[in-house]
Structure 1
Amino acid sequence: MTGVPVGPPKRLVEITVDGKAVRVPEGSTILDACHAVGKDVPTLCYGDTLTPKNACRVCVVEVEGARTLAPACSRKAEPGMTVGTDTERVRHSRKIVLELLGSSVDLSTTPRAAEWIEEYGARPDRFGPDAAKVDQPVKVDNDLYVRDYDKCILCYKCVDACGEQWQNSFAISVAGRGFDATISTEFDAALPDSACVYCGNCVEVCPTGALSFKTEFDMREAGIWDESRQTQTTTICSYCGVGCNLTLHVQDNRIVKVTSPHDNPVTHGNLCIKGRFGFQHVQNVAAGEAPG
């Protein structure tokens, strides 16, 4: 019987979160500790398969004795630390962040954004009609995924997934400065003319829907996208012998998109173009057509 390799045991660090003592392994973040005690801390730029970028600042918490609020997603838990996740200072900061985001970008497809805006009493409209908007046209230049930068919050997760943290294609980066900053291919080339390999790992980590499957985009445009009617089935990709796990999202007996479990030791949520987008042959066979 083969044993499962494990790392050396880590000592536990005890901190207090909203008056509750919690012990987490050394090296854990405040966010990990919050999850351990069931505290729901909002996050946008945080990704469980990426190094935290500290870009959105919506996860900030108050650490006793600290001068500034700390990003829970990256700040390490320290022995004896006392953390407040719902103090007046924290709530005010999150409210302002949500107002600034909501006044400049389209959060309509950002999961839980409307819930957080209501919870913190944010009023994005208070900045008026002259608030700086992203206002970029939707980029549809291929049949696999769509770029709608009007929904982009510049969290950099797509850049990291395409770059050295996972894919190493470096097809996209940040172009411009200030209000002109945007995610872009080299020289703003169309995706078919760029270094993009269409793995879709950028789509996987996008928190707002700025990057989405072409199938999902088309269904949303037609008003028929309905996640409440979708089922998810995890299976093994059949294209090669690596053993990547695929989660098939199915609506009305048709696959509408494919993701991969982030806790899978093979993929960590990442796939290649075949695993992510090569599902149309299933639809053809189901419809009685010969697979191409």
Structure 2
Amino acid sequence: MKKVTITIDNQVIQVPENYTVLEAARSIGIDIPTLCYLKEINEVAACRMCLVEVEGARNLQTSCVLPVREGMVVRTNTKKVREARKATLELLLSNHNRECLTCTRNGNCELQTLADELGVKDIPFEGEKTVAPVDTSSPSIVRDPQKCILCGRCVSVCQNVQTVGVLDFTNRGFKTVVGPAFDKGIGNVPCINCGQCIAVCPVGALREKESIDYVWEAIDDPNKHVVVQTAPAVRAALGEEFGLPMGTRVTGKMVAALRRLGFDKVFDTDFGADLTIMEEGYELLHRLKNGGKLPMITSCSPGWVKFCEHYYPEFLDNLSTCKSPHEMLGAIIKSYYAEKNNIDPKDIVVVSIMPCTAKKYESQREELSHAGYQDVDYVLTTRELAKMIKEARIDFVNLPNEDFDEVLGESTGAGVIFGATGGVMEAALRTVAEVVTGKELENIDFEQVRGTEGIKEAEVKLGDLAVKVAVAHGTGNARKLLEQIKSGEKEYHFIEIMACPGGCVTGGGQPHVSAKDRMTKDIMKERAKALYDEDKAKEIRKSHENPMIKKIYKEFLGEPNSHKAHELLHTHYVERKNYPVDEENKYKEYFCDCK
């Protein structure tokens, strides 16, 4: 690409002609502050924190949207720039709930960090403040308008990346707020609970609905047998909460920490993933051989499932009937495990540690229960687990590596890659290919379904059968794919969809990453690498070869897709309405499906 020569703070540099001044400055280590900016998602120059002085311009310019041009001379640290940035920040803080010590983002808040860096010591602007109730209507997400700085990041990710669009700016001027239309609670609109709004929020205006106190209460109850399970993606990100580099795999330390927190058993959701592959793989084969509904689409991601229920109900019959891995494992814990250990299911509390806020919603669904008990009682995000570890004063970094408990802690490499986009597809293909051909695969790495491209396609030979597969991550990409199928442009046999961009490794419950780090680090790639490394390190890398999976089918389930397996491990879905209108075409009421 053609380059232009510019000068920034007396440094003459050459940069690509499509760069902004912000990108040019950061490329040489000059960190212009930002708040609203989020690369390729929210580039709107709303917060005015990135102001710079450009020679020849009458006013200060917003560097995040200012294209470079040949001969441009930029100054980022003049008195005028510093005073403008500080005044802007003070104005933002004047209408902000500044109870920082009790805020969930204390210590990793981008607004708090800037206030420290820019030397804000007091707030000279006092006046009217936004007064709005905290929205707790969702089972997954809490929205606090009094902490919102109107940066628009959540609006952009919800509308442009996820294409859900339940958040937007409402009202005008000082009364502007971000939220659902008509002052509805976020639990009373067709939100899919993915939590990507939380992931991009620079402050504490959006957070998960915490269940930490309920879990402590269960652990402290001598009459409760508390079992914890951890999703694959958690081990790839938890270390970041304790200062370890992004993508550090902390499986053993995580298990050790959970034992020290007081859980009675520590199991691995990867076992549930292996179980899912057995059920889902055989379901796919049954559909292929018996004229079942195709394409079959994975059902592991609760955000994607809810997106389908709201926006594409015509594809509900295409969804695999399999429960997600942690729900499967929860059902097994309250049946097989309870029976083997002579424990009444009513005394078992199942806690899932998930990278996902939508799992909180999922665990409450009536369809995900058996014999009067929810499969999973509580869901904690990766961030919540980190809080519990810190509260217990556990020295996480110096913990020894420990193993999961048997039998439900045994898993394969196929189970661990569920956390990355393409992982479910690859795990399924490893098993289905060998079941169909009766032969061992020479190469079990299906590289064609890996990577972070929005939509990936491949054709895989399963014996004499050529199976067309596709992988999509982020519901915006899912929408594109489904529209192509509806129009007849594309045709597939099997599709994997994850609600979050990158899959579970960048789920709404994972550790926060600042906009600055998002600009320079590939979060999806770094965290996914940890999972693929663990896959390679596993002695067994195919779900159907897991000896404990074989054991549970022999002793309890019979065979994949058996009557008992369907009773415990499969479910159904429901069409959900969005915004019914009355005869005058006026807004009536959003459909609320939360408890």
Match of 1:176 in 2: 171
Call closer, same or farther: CA 1:38–1:206 in 2, change over 3 Å.
Answer: same
| Equivalent position SS for 2:92 | helix
Match of 1:89 in 2: 80
Q: Find the partner of 1:140 among 111, 136, 139.
A: 136
For the pair 1:44 / 2:44, whether they are aligned, the reply is no
For the pair 1:56 / 2:56, whether they are aligned, the reply is no
Match of 1:72 in 2: 63
Considering fraction of residues, name the structure with more strand: 1
What CA distance in whole angstroms lies between the structure 1 residues aligned with 2:82 and 2:130? 26
Call closer, same or farther: CA 1:112–1:202 in 2, change over 3 Å.
Answer: closer
The one-letter code of the counterpart of 1:89 is K
Q: Give the length in aligned residue pairs.
A: 257
What CA distance in whole angstroms lies between the structure 2 residues aligned with 1:133 and 1:71? 26
Match of 2:312 in 1: none
What CA distance in whole angstroms lies between the structure 1 residues aligned with 2:36 and 2:157? 12
Call closer, same or farther: CA 1:24–1:272 in 2, change over 3 Å.
Answer: same
Call closer, same or farther: CA 1:218–1:169 in 2, change over 3 Å.
Answer: farther
What CA distance in whole angstroms lies between the structure 1 residues aligned with 2:52 and 2:198? 28
Call closer, same or farther: CA 1:38–1:230 in 2, change over 3 Å.
Answer: closer
The one-letter code of the counterpart of 2:109 is P
User: How far did residue 216 of structure 1 move?
Assistant: 9.0
What CA distance in whole angstroms lies between the structure 2 residues aligned with 1:67 and 1:11? 28
User: How far did residue 59 of structure 1 move?
Assistant: 0.7
Deviates more, 1:23-32 or 1:109-118: 109-118
For the pair 1:186 / 2:184, whether they are aligned, the reply is no
What CA distance in whole angstroms lies between the structure 2 residues aligned with 1:187 and 1:141? 15
What CA distance in whole angstroms lies between the structure 1 residues aligned with 2:112 and 2:6? 31
| Equivalent position SS for 2:124 | helix
For the pair 1:154 / 2:150, whether they are aligned, the reply is yes
Match of 1:111 in 2: 109
Call closer, same or farther: CA 1:114–1:158 in 2, change over 3 Å.
Answer: closer
Kept in 1: contact 2:19–2:67 (CA 8 A) = yes
The one-letter code of the counterpart of 2:133 is P
Call closer, same or farther: CA 1:80–1:157 in 2, change over 3 Å.
Answer: same
What CA distance in whole angstroms lies between the structure 2 residues aligned with 1:49 and 1:16? 25
| Equivalent position SS for 1:174 | strand
| Equivalent position SS for 1:13 | strand
For the pair 1:229 / 2:246, whether they are aligned, the reply is no
Match of 1:222 in 2: none
Match of 1:120 in 2: 118
What CA distance in whole angstroms lies between the structure 2 residues aligned with 1:188 and 1:175? 9
User: CA RMSD of the aligned region, Å?
Assistant: 4.0
Call closer, same or farther: CA 1:52–1:23 in 2, change over 3 Å.
Answer: same
Q: Find the partner of 1:35 among 11, 26, 33.
A: 26
Match of 1:212 in 2: 207
User: How far did residue 138 of structure 1 move?
Assistant: 1.8
What CA distance in whole angstroms lies between the structure 2 residues aligned with 1:54 and 1:141? 31
Identity %: 32
Structure 1 unaligned residues grouped into runs of 5+: 1-9, 220-226, 280-289
User: How far did residue 192 of structure 1 move?
Assistant: 2.6
Q: Whose radius of gyration is greater, 1 or 2?
A: 2
User: How far did residue 106 of structure 1 move?
Assistant: 2.9
| Equivalent position SS for 2:131 | coil
User: How far did residue 199 of structure 1 move?
Assistant: 2.0
The one-letter code of the counterpart of 1:34 is A
Match of 1:4 in 2: none
What CA distance in whole angstroms lies between the structure 1 residues aligned with 2:116 and 2:10? 25
Kept in 1: contact 2:198–2:208 (CA 8 A) = yes
User: How far did residue 121 of structure 1 move?
Assistant: 3.8
User: How far did residue 162 of structure 1 move?
Assistant: 1.4
For the pair 1:12 / 2:3, whether they are aligned, the reply is yes
Kept in 1: contact 2:138–2:188 (CA 8 A) = no
Kept in 1: contact 2:3–2:14 (CA 8 A) = yes
What CA distance in whole angstroms lies between the structure 2 residues aligned with 1:36 and 1:194? 41
**CA deviation map 1:163-217 (0-9, x unaligned):** 1x21222212111111111012121122232121222222222111211122399
Kept in 2: contact 1:111–1:207 (CA 8 A) = yes
What CA distance in whole angstroms lies between the structure 2 residues aligned with 1:64 and 1:100? 27
User: How far did residue 33 of structure 1 move?
Assistant: 0.7
| Equivalent position SS for 1:105 | coil
Kept in 2: contact 1:15–1:78 (CA 8 A) = yes
| Equivalent position SS for 1:31 | helix
| Equivalent position SS for 1:215 | coil
Match of 1:198 in 2: 193
What CA distance in whole angstroms lies between the structure 2 residues aligned with 1:122 and 1:186? 35
What CA distance in whole angstroms lies between the structure 2 residues aligned with 1:132 and 1:241? 48
User: How far did residue 127 of structure 1 move?
Assistant: 2.2
* TM-score relative to the length of structure 1: 0.73
What CA distance in whole angstroms lies between the structure 2 residues aligned with 1:49 and 1:277? 18
The one-letter code of the counterpart of 1:122 is V
Considering fraction of residues, name the structure with more helix: 2
What CA distance in whole angstroms lies between the structure 1 residues aligned with 2:3 and 2:300? 36
The one-letter code of the counterpart of 1:126 is P
| Equivalent position SS for 1:116 | helix
Kept in 1: contact 2:208–2:509 (CA 8 A) = no
Structure 2 unaligned residues grouped into runs of 5+: 215-239, 250-269, 277-297, 302-354, 357-381, 391-418, 422-450, 455-472, 477-497, 511-567, 571-595
Match of 1:287 in 2: none
What CA distance in whole angstroms lies between the structure 2 residues aligned with 1:112 and 1:193? 29
The one-letter code of the counterpart of 1:135 is V
The one-letter code of the counterpart of 1:16 is T
User: How far did residue 42 of structure 1 move?
Assistant: 0.9
Call closer, same or farther: CA 1:278–1:41 in 2, change over 3 Å.
Answer: closer
Match of 2:582 in 1: none
